[in-house]
Each structure stands twice: as structure tokens, then as C-alpha cells.
Structure 1
Amino acid sequence: MTTDTLVIHPTTGPIRGTSGGGVDVWKGVRYAAPPVGDLRWRRARPPHPHDEVVDADAYGAVAPQAQMPGFNLGPGVVMDEDCLFLNIWTPLGASTGSRPRPVMVWIHGGAYVLGSSSQPLYDAARLVVDGDVVVVSVNYRLGAFGFGDFSSLNEHLDEPRFESNTALSDVLLALTWVRDNIGAFGGNPDNVTVFGESAGAGVVTTLLTMPAAEGLFHKAIAESSPATSMYDHARAARVAAQFLEAADATHDELVGLAVDRVVKATMTLMDRVPTDTPGTIPFAPVIDGDLVPRNPMDVFRDAESLPVPLLIGTNKDEAALFKWMRSPMMPIAPADIERMFATLAAEYPEVTLPPRAQITSAYQGMKPKVVGLGVARDIAFRMPTVWIAQAHSQRAPVFLYRFDWATRMLRVLTLGATHATELPYVFGNLSMGPADITFRLGGRKTGEAVSRRMQRRWTSFAHRGDPAADPTLPWPRFDSATRATLVIDAEDRVVDDLDAELRQAWGDEVLGFR
């Protein structure tokens, strides 16, 4: 249903939303100029305002990407370089009320090359109704379009043409749009929480170290952040050269290169780079000395991150999904893990890794393949998260979790609580169609209870900066003395210094790989 009360007048021009299911929704709202033509490979620019009322009743185009089986980007999805749109869910009538709600801005994951805000999994209606919050979800550029740094090619040009960290500039502009406009939708621009998963969480942890992001958000949630997947200009230049080779293009042709060739070359490198150098991926935020002035892990270590409360955690079986997908993104085989350590030692001589025997001692008694899953999980996700929690707790309140809940079906499939399995519980979308087998062997009632608790914790954090505001849901702050961690399972529990042996084996020094 659409009504004139749902016509809102943001600075970019009037838009008309829809109502239903207890929420008001505005979809496909343009927050940036189309990044095409002269704006391709450049940072986001504000859009030209419009005077006519635009119907915001359908998702906007998603960033160009490879079509992946089982990866539902949304009904009737259209891919286009012109993809910088956001969506807003509010409680029914919030835009005409006098009580502003907390705002949660969702940044989707997908290894920096996949995903969209229109994925059915991210429909925010349940989160909005049950949590009394406003939710905004954001599309940003992906793959080479968003995370390729071709600034090394500017030396061949009369005028600089390529800019770094274009995807991060997209998110910054989206957050600026939220700051300037969300009040008209019933949201509180002075109470904004950014939250994301996987690559989206990597964006979140990077934002926490970016001076340009200061003041644009007031709390942060990072679910399974690949925080150390961060590269410098020299490595970005090597990837740029590999990209041109994969695309069979010159730097002059890159400006007008067909979208399908850009996507194809992107996915070629997504296979080639982690195969050649295990433990690395080709596309991620770049330490450019500008938007990202320093290695984020160094910023955290030096206690110079933005002083906003942080809720952060990982899943118990992160790496199982990558094994199941046969993805080269995470080294699991013993030989690949050995190559990964050798590469890290060669590429980052300034980083002192713990002795190999010290690390492997924490995995004694496990089968080699299980050891591989553990090492991959811990170097990619778990240990960076623990390091960030320890460092950021010197700046602001931190709440650390580990998601352990898995249905019987996921355990039978040897996936367990793998990467991204917490997402349906956060958004309250436990039924993703007839092909979803998650609850085929039972567990639905328990899963619904897990979801209710997670939503109450996540939205309590958005409201007050404390996920334990409800006394029936304790969750103490993390500190370096107790290292309290909430284990989310069929029954939640708080454990001090969870995985202490792993932490001690890897060490407490924040390692900043570049």
C-alpha cells in the first residue's frame, strides 16, 4: 500500500514508500551519482537532486558480479554499474511520530565480490518490528569496481583517473546520507549503529580506523570480520597488473572495459590469487594513506580506533563452509597451510609470527584436516577478532561473542556453526524457501528462541550500547583481565577467556598483515 504520508523529502529528492507487515519501507533509494562513465573507478559523488516524487517500491540494481548457485540476490534482480542504492525499514508510522528510533545500517558480506542488500535473508521487517529500530541496508561496489586499486596506472596518464577504495567511499557517502536524512524517516541520526558480516564486517572494522568516518556512526557490530585482509599499494599494484592480464586489456582500455569482462577477470583472480598465495584474496580495502591512512590492525594496536562501543564475534566452525564449497579462499590442506606461513614470513618480515610448534601445539590430538580447519578459522577470523576486542577495549566498551548454535542437519553435513550461519537468527528470517534444509532434522523451536535472544541483544546494543540491558540476558563487557565471551547456543553462557589455549598459542600481539 502507498499513501501520501509515505512521501518523504530527503535532500536528494522526494520519494514514496510502501506499508505492510507492520513496517514502512522505502527501497531503491539513490544515495550517490551513478558510478559510470567518467565516474567509473572514482570515489562516490553525491547524486543530482530530483524534484518529482519517485516511487521507492522496488530494490535498485545490484553491483555486477558472478552468478553463484544457491546465492539468492533477490527476486527479479538486475545487475548494473549504476548500483548505489539503499533501503529503509521503519516501524509503522515512525516517520510521522515524535520519538526517533535507533538506526542500524547493514553492510552485506560476500568476500568483497558478491552479495546485495536485496537478498531475502536481509529483509529487515522482523528486526524492525521486534527491536523497535530503523534499519538501512546499503549496496556498494564490489570486486574490481569497488576494491580494485588501479591508482598505480595513473603514472601512464596525463591526469589521475583511478582512485582507491571506491567501495569504502560508497559506504561513507551512504552513512552521510543517513546522517543528513534519516530523521525524516523517524530515525535518530545521533544514534547510528553500523553492522555487517564477513566482508561487510571487514568494512565495519576498517571504518573504525578511518578518520573520514568519525561522527558518522556511534556503535559498531562486526560478525566474522576478515580484519587482516588488508593490503598496501605495492601489492595492489601487482593485483592491478594481474587484472589487466586476466582481462586481456591495457590501462587505456580499462576505462571503457565491458562489465562482463571486468566481472570475469575479477572471478579469475578470486581463484588464482588464493591458489598461488594461500591465505590471501585479490580484492579488499587498501592502505592508501588517504581514506585508510594506516593498517587498521596497527590503529587498533595503538589504541587509536574511533571510540565507539563494539559488539564483535565469530562462529565456531567458520572454515567448514569454505571446505564444503571447495573454495580456495581459505587454506585448509596441510600443504597449503605450510605455504601460507612461508608466504607470510617472506612478505611480512617485520611481523613476528609465533613459533610454528607453539601454534600447532594448540591443535594436538586433532586429525590433519581438522587442524587445517582450525588454523584457517583462527588466522582468518577468530584471532583477529580477539586481538581487536583486546585492543579496542582500551578505547570503548567491547562485547565479544562466539556463535556455536547449529541444527542437527548442519552438524550431519559437517558444517556446524559455520560462516554466515548466524545471519538468519539476527534478521529473524529462519525460512528461506523450500530448498532450505536447515531445520529438516528438527531444531526449529530452539532456533526461534536463539533468534529472539540475538535480536534482543543486537537491538539492545543499538538502543543503549549494551547488549545486556535486559537483566535476563547477561553479557559482561570484555576486558583483558577476564576476557568474557558470550557463547551463543541452544542455551547461552558466558565463558571467561574462551579458547585460552588457542589465544596463548597464537599470542596476544596484534598482527597487522599488509
Structure 2
Amino acid sequence: MPGRARRGRGRLGHRAGLLEGIAALAAPIRVTRHAHSLNDGARHADRYRAGGPRSLGTLDLRSTRRSGVSTRFFDTLSERDGAPVARTVYGEVSGSMDGRVAVWRGIPYGASTGGPGRFRLPQPPQSWTGVRACDDFGDVAPQSPGFTPVDGSLRMGEDCLWLNVWAPADPSDEPRPVMVWLHGGAFCLGTAAQAIYDGKRLAEVGEVIVVGVNYRLGALGFLDLSSLGDDFTPNLGLHDQIAALQWVRDNIAAFGGDPGNVTLFGESSGAGCVTALLTSPLSAGLFHRAIAQSPPATTVFGPERAAVVAKRYLELLELTPDRSAELLTMPVERMITAAGTLLDEVPLREPGRLAAAPVVDGNLLPAYPSERFQQGRSHRVPLIIGTNKDEASLFRLFRSPIMPVTPDAVNGMLRGVAAEHPGLSPERLAQIAAAYESSTPRGALTMSTDAAFRMPSHWVADAHSAHSPTWMYRFDHATPMLKAARVGAGHATELPYVFGNFGSFDYDPTFWLGGRAAAQKVSGRMMRRWLAFAGYGVPAAIDGSKHWRPYSAATRTTLVIDAVDRLVDDPDHDRNSIWGDDVVGFY
């Protein structure tokens, strides 16, 4: 008998959002849902007037201030309000000033995904005349309501294809490097509106343009329903990200950015999207460097697996396959509720798996990304990739089902690996389990960290470094409070160090036991390395920091980031040798 979607359950929905950044230890704020937003009301109508098509490829490079040959690429409305204005191919957009950084929030890069746009490829936004005010974030992509830490006034809705831009306001002799951010959240949670992803510090410290991308999630973005009929397109979240990168290519010059120098970076599932896009023919040429922070690089499924999950989703909605077209007009609240149940159910029944993830579709992803990397078919761009020392600790702290963190769950994961990889002998699996002492809580946590994040990162780096410059890091730093809480360098704890955004959450306990000065020094080094990489393709901070040698499969040279950085060849050699060189994924 088909299961019924349970309202108000969603353990994943209520836990996973906490796992992104120090928000894991902060008091979260609930996202509000408004019916008219979810049903695509015309709440933006007073912000601009729709107009006819505009000619593409024409960018307004007017300048109100010049210093020699230096140019500010965006205009200003008036001396009275000082609002920065940039001309995109769809119309002019005004933002606001935050110190010496110009900020635009909620710029549409795609049309609403509601109504006929649901389960369809992203479409360009409608052009407008006049100046569109981009001072506020757009809709949060539909997801299980709960603990994504954002301002409580934000709405959830399907008009969710938008991005934010941070640009230094001072004149520049040359177009600036661009950094495009993909947020994490297990492919089903999160938003570019989260305070931890504010790009102001990166923009002002590094003289770069920062772009934060909002995209479809969960059932509407990463649940492949294409087995149900031609009305459904797989990998919509990835397609949205590609559309955002195309928007950057066509428009970022108007904000002072260099469309020929774009770094794509992301964390967790956002980093998994980065590694997937590194192997996609559709993203070729849209970015020129990549940074993957804790990527679940082998969490990509095949069409057979996706069809099983799609069938179960219909059961939760009490629909038969011949009624799948009802998904096109179904209230999105009902879809989110069923998706929350599904997203909990899959990792509990099959430890190590997620319900929503990128899939091999023969188009955007012609094959498993791990295979494309092994075949030398990833894009020829420089790459920084790495993980945190204690990835699994936050999942244990919040008892999240996303990762197997108990001995029973980890052993269940190993049984799933054996079923998916018949070439792995029982003896080999027994050796892996014994090496970790997976029957103990500590051993289970370490194995979960390695299976989900660390080994996939090494397999990617081993292959990519054969043809492109690659750098590997391991983030070990933790404040005294995080050490006392047995979190350590847990999943996503590097985020405030990369963005320089400490204290962006209410009641943040990170520094309750001190450690702020040391953390700020670590953050300064990380930001300088990331920014140097974005600017020049080499993470060389000109500040006396430890020289970071490139990675190779032979040496596995790794920068261990802590209060004092260390460069170590293959710091986890014993565990690496147990796994070997054969890629193990969940297909």
C-alpha cells in the first residue's frame, strides 16, 4: 500500500540546514511561506515595468567617476541616494552601497520556475524598462521548512532563479576577477540569502566581484523524475547553475567583472555541483578555475536508481504513474511535504545514499563524473579541492540521517557498497572495516568522513592533477569551544574562514571559550589564498605563509590548515592505502 506523506516530520529538513557553517551551533530562524509567493504572485510588479526584448550583448559601461584611465563600470542614480546602477542585457538594476562595496540582491537570471516552468529547463527572465530595484533577496527555493538560517521575512517560492553581486565601488584599471558561489545543503536545502555567504569581505579585501547563486533544490531541482515522462527534465539544479554562469558571461562586465576570469566555488553539495560541472560538456568555457570544499564527488546516481526514487515519490503523493502529470500543477506545499519524507527515508533505509542528487542523463552529465575524471575528460582548469578533518562530527551532533555515523549505519553502508561493487571482495571490505575499527563510534565517524568526502576528493585530485594544476588542503582548525563540543573541524566549519564572516548568526557560541584572534589569522590566510587563486590561478598568498606546492597522485601533497599551516605529503597514507585507487561510489 502506498505510503502517505507525513506532515511535520522531516528530520532531514529540520537538521540538515543546521549543518551548513557555524549555523549548526546557532539559533536558527524559520523561513516563512506565503501562499501568493509559492503560487507566483506578481509581487515584483511594482519594482519594474515589463518591456519588449532588448538587444543582447550590449553592456552599459558609463562612468560617473574617472581617475586617469580607471573606470567604475556601473553608474549612479543620483547624488542624493548614491544607488549603484548596472545595465544588464534584460534591463537596468539598482543596488545599494555597503561601505565601499556595491551590492545587488535578487537579480533575476531566469524566469519563474512556477506554472509551466516547473520541471522545465531555466528560461531567460522577461526584460524590463526603467530601473529595477535589486535591494532584497528573491524567493528561497521550495524546501522543507525548518532551520535554514536566514532572515525570517524571506519567502519561499518558485520564482527562485536569482543571484547577488558584490562589487568594489572604487575605480579599477582593469576588469576584476569574478568568484561565483554555489551554496551547500545536501542538494535539498539552503539559499544564497544566508548571511554566512555575504560576499562583502571577499570583494573589499580581494578587489574581486562575488556572485552568489540561488537555484532549484530537492524535488524541484535534484530529484530526477524523467522516468515518468517527457514533462520532466533531470538535473534542473545543475541547469540553473549553468544558466547563472551564462548570465555572468553576458553581464558581469557591467559590474566591473572579467567574464574571462571566473572562479566557480562551492561547499558540500555545492562543491559536488562544482565537481559535476567540471565534467559537463554544457559548462565548458563558462568558468576558468574551480574550488571544491568538501565535495561529495561520488554522490551521483544512474537513471535506474533515479527511477526507483521517482516511483517512491509518487507513492508518497498517492499518485499512480499515469497521473504523474498532476505534479505540474500540484500545490508546491504538498510536494515539499512528500519530498521531506522521502529525503529522510532514503538515507535511513540505505545509509550513505541521498534521495536527491545529480544523475547521469546522457546530456549534461554524459557519464558518472568519477569516470570522466578517470578518463581525463574534466575541464582543463586549475583546481583547489579539500575536506575538513572531522567532517562527520556535526551529523552525529544533530543525529542527522544524511551521513551514517553509528557503527550499525556504517556497516549498512558497507553492505550497500558491496552490492554496488561486486568486484570488491568480502575480504577487501573486511580489511576496510577492520582498519577503521568501524564497530566503534570513533571508527564509524572516521569511515563516514572518508567515504563521503575525503576519498572522493583524493580520487578527483589524483585524476585532475594529471592534466591541470591542482592543490589539496585539509582544514584542521577548530576553536576551543568546537573542540570542547567534540565538533572539531566539522563539516562546513571552514565557511566563515573563507568568507571572513564570523558572528553572522545569532547566539553564535564559536568563541565562547576564546580563540577569535587565532581564527581571524587563519581566515586571513585562507582568504588571501582563495583570492590569489581567483586572480592568478595560483593560491600563493604573498604574506609569508607556507608555500603551497601543487598536488600529484604520487605525492598527494596536502596543505594542513591550522593555527600554523603545514605542508604534508599524503597525511592520511594509512587510510588511503586501505581504499586503494579504485573509485567507490553510490550509484
- Taking structure 1 as the reference length, the TM-score comes to 0.95
Match of 1:26 in 2: 104
Task: Specify which of 150, 170, 177 is matched with residue 102 of structure 1.
Answer: 177
- The answer as to whether partners of 1:43 and 1:167 remain within 8 angstroms in 2 is no
Separation in 1 of the partners of 2:157 and 2:553?
46
Residues 309-354 of structure 1 deviation map (CA, whole Å, 9 limit, x = unaligned): 0000000000011111111111122222222121222234366788
1:207-254 Cα offsets, whole Å, 9 max, x none, are 000000000000000000011111011111111111111122341321
Distance 1:184 1:475, change over 3 A: same
Aligned pairs (5 A) from 1:268-283: 268-283=341-356
How far 1:264 moved relative to its partner? 1.0
Corresponding residue for residue 69 of structure 2:
none
Q: Does 1:231 align with 2:301?
A: yes
Task: Give 1:2 deviation, angstroms.
Answer: 6.8
Q: Which residue of 1 aligns with 2:202?
A: 127
Q: Structure 1 CA distance, aligned partners of 2:191 and 2:578?
A: 37
**1:326 maps onto 2:399 in alignment:** yes
- Residue 217 of structure 1: SS of its match in structure 2? coil
Q: Deviations over 1:432-460 (max 9, x none)?
A: 24410000000000011011001001000
Q: Are 1:348 and 1:513, in contact at CA under 8 Å, matched by a contact in 2?
A: no
- Kindly tell me: are residues 186 and 142 of structure 1, through their superposed partners in 2, closer, same or farther at Cα, counting changes over 3 Å? same
For residues 125-180 of structure 1, the C-alpha deviation after alignment (integer angstroms, 9 at most, x for no partner) is 111111111100000001000011111111xxxxx211111111100000000001
- State the match for 2:538 in structure 1: 466
Q: Secondary structure at the match of 1:495?
A: strand
Is 1:221 paired with 2:287? Answer: no
Structure 1 equivalent of residue 95 of structure 2: 17
Give the conservation status (yes or no) of the 8 Å contact 1:296–1:512: no
Choose the corresponding residue for 2:337, options 256, 264, 269.
Answer: 264
Q: Which amino acid in structure 1 is aligned with residue 275 of structure 2?
A: T
Range with greater deviation from structure 2 (97-106 or 203-212): 97-106
Amino acid at match of 2:144: A
Give identity over the alignment, percent. Answer: 49
1:36 is matched with 114
Q: Secondary structure at the match of 2:583?
A: coil
Q: Which residue of 1 aligns with 2:231?
A: 161
Q: 1:367 to 1:439 in 2, by over 3 A?
A: farther
Residue 414 of structure 2: aligned partner: 341
Alignment of 1:409-488 (within 5 A): 409-470=481-542, 472-473=544-545, 474-488=547-561
In 2, Cα distance between the equivalents of 1:305 and 1:397?
12
Give the alignment of 1:163-182 within 5 angstroms.
163-182=233-252
1:382 is aligned, of 451, 454, 463, to 454
**Which stretch of structure 1 is more off in the superposition, 1-10 or 283-292?**
1-10
Secondary structure, aligned partner of 1:194:
strand
CA contact (8 A) 1:354 1:505 kept: no
8 Å CA contact retained: 2:187, 2:222: yes
The equivalent of 1:357 in structure 2 is 430
- The 3-state SS of whatever aligns with 1:396 is coil
Aligned CA RMSD, in angstroms, stands at 1.7
- Bigger Cα Rg: 2
In the alignment, the residues of structure 2 paired with residue 30 and residue 145 of structure 1 have an alpha-carbon distance, to the nearest angstrom, of 18
Greater CA drift, 414-423 or 73-82 = 73-82
Aligned partners of 2:301 and 2:286: how far apart in 1?
24
> Gaps (5+ residues) in structure 2?
1-74
Which residue does the alignment assign to 2:165?
Answer: 88
1:422 to partner: Cα distance: 0.1
Bigger Cα displacement from structure 2, 208-217 vs 54-63: 54-63
Q: Which residue of 2 aligns with 1:157?
A: none
SS across alignment from 1:355:
helix
| Deviating more after overlay: 435-444 vs 334-343 | 334-343
